[in-house]
Structure 1
Amino acid sequence: MDLILWRHAEAVDDVDGGDDLQRALTARGEKQAMRMAAWLDRHLPEGARILASPALRCEQTAMALGRKFKTRTELAPDGTVAGVLEAAKWPDAKEHVVIVGHQPVLGETVAQLLQLKQPACPIRKGAVWWFRTRERDGHQQTLLIAVQSPDTVG
């Protein structure tokens, strides 16, 4: 199974207690999402399952890919690593799964998948971390296939 963690692109700052779920992408964020989506579209198979947080900025990031996606409440800003992995059906899903979500939970998921000593890994806005699971010698392994930033893809 391939699991792609995609942090939402740059969004407007929260303004005086506004609804965090309604924060939209900035103009720069829209460009970041489009650049990353173009890279993903070249590498993802047609049958990939796309799941996004119900936050507007995540939905806008996912929309840049131009494929159908579903929103999942367990991917909201207050989500957990367990919720992310359950939504993705990690490690047993048959298709590629893209999760469009938030920090810190995406960084916490990266730390768990890579068995890092620190509890979380920083993930840049708009960036993608691509993982693959496989079995070798009777043991499941998690491989990091790619890390891409919207600033480095063209």
Structure 2
Amino acid sequence: MQELILLRHAEALPASSGSQDLERSLSPRGEQEALAAGRWLAAHGVRPDRLLCSPALRARRTAELAAKAVAPDGAIGLAGEIYDATPGELLALLDQHADARCMLLVGHNPGIERLVALMVDGRSDEFRGMPPAALAVLHLQGVLEPGNARLDAFWSP
């Protein structure tokens, strides 16, 4: 893997009474944020050849909307381990997809923001924060392991 794009799901509607967290949808603003994330990726020439996403509705919808601009015909792989994952669990999942040239992973905080810190700084306790629909573009400097990535770009709506 040469490039890793980490995208936090866009703004979701608040949980309603009796509903499950996995079924929370995007807000109207979140729909626009996800589209904007896709446009940003396209404008910067980012073309993922693999897309993995949490099974949560808000993450799936974020992936669908963002992918329209960068991989309209690409399949979105769902990975249950992304939901509520630690940085180590996310890294183990990514290791299974190390053959991808450019991976786009759509998930949740705190896992996503801590994974950015782990990949760039080698530590996941010093995370910087990622608001809804924020994305980090990481360039891997060799093998997929902590501290072996450079943050090439950070964007948030």
How far apart in 1 are the matches of 2:88 and 2:137?
18
Stretch deviating more after TM superposition (126-135 or 28-37):
126-135
1:72 aligns with 2:79: yes
How far apart in 2 are the matches of 1:19 and 1:106?
21
1:125 aligns with 2:125: no
Partner SS for 2:132: coil
Residues 1:6 and 1:14: Cα distance change in structure 2 (over 3 Å): same
Unaligned runs of at least 5 residues, structure 1: none
Q: By percentage of residues, which structure has more helix? A: 2
Aligned residue number for residue 96 of structure 1: 102
How far apart in 1 are the matches of 2:35 and 2:6?
16
Aligned residue number for residue 2 of structure 1: 3
Unaligned runs of at least 5 residues, structure 2: none
How far apart in 1 are the matches of 2:54 and 2:34?
15
Among residues 92, 113, 116, which one is paired with 1:107 in the alignment?
113
Tell whether the 8 Å contact from 1:53 to 1:73 is kept in structure 2 after alignment.
yes
Please report how far the alpha carbon of residue 74 of structure 1 lies from its aligned counterpart in structure 2 after TM superposition: 0.8
Stretch deviating more after TM superposition (26-35 or 119-128):
119-128
Stretch deviating more after TM superposition (20-29 or 63-72):
63-72
How far apart in 2 are the matches of 1:85 and 1:117?
12
How far apart in 1 are the matches of 2:124 and 2:86?
18
CA RMSD of aligned residues (A): 2.1
Aligned residue number for residue 28 of structure 2: 27
Partner SS for 1:132: strand
Please report how far the alpha carbon of residue 134 of structure 1 lies from its aligned counterpart in structure 2 after TM superposition: 1.6
Partner SS for 1:103: coil
Tell whether the 8 Å contact from 1:91 to 1:133 is kept in structure 2 after alignment.
no
Between the aligned residues of both structures, percent identity stands at: 30
Tell whether the 8 Å contact from 2:120 to 2:148 is kept in structure 1 after alignment.
no
TM-score by length of 2: 0.82
Aligned residue number for residue 55 of structure 2: 54
TM-score by length of 1: 0.84
